[in-house]
Amino acid sequence: MLSTAAQFVGTPYRYGGAAPGGFDCSGFTSYVFAQHGIGLQRTADAQMRSVRHVPADQAAPGDLVFFTSGGRAYHTAIYAGNGQILDASRSGGTVTQRAMWTNQVVFGRVLA
């Protein structure tokens, strides 16, 4: 999963994007997982509600990370381990690997 995600580092952010020409956060995660035959819901919040949540101390590379506010996910990323994520972050940005900026997250594991 991580090697697939890493192939897209540098891909531009595109609101609503779900293909290599440009990704938003949930478009990126759903596209990467689809390359492994795993379907995900389209939005960050729907993805969070459809996976098995795991405690932070059990999170593993390849799990999803959901950044939350008010009980809803507003952003999703792929956990790379050691506090790092791969994500499509914001307008004007690109897919990057970077440090998590908060611990207010929910980790989710996709069961294939």
Catalytic member of 25, 36, 57, 63 = 25
Our answer to whether residue 75 is catalytic in this structure is yes
CA–CA distance, 39 with 34 (Å, rounded to integer)? 5
Beta carbons of 109 and 98 less than 8 angstroms apart: no
Residue 45 known to be catalytic:
no
Among residues 53, 57, 63, 87, the one annotated as catalytic is 87
Quick one: which H or E segment has residue 33? helix 25-34
**What number of CA atoms fall less than 13 Å from residue 83's CA on the CB side?**
6
Closest CA to 109 of 74, 64, 58: 64
Question: Known catalytic residue: 53?
Answer: no
Mind telling me the catalytic residues? Answer: 25, 75, 87
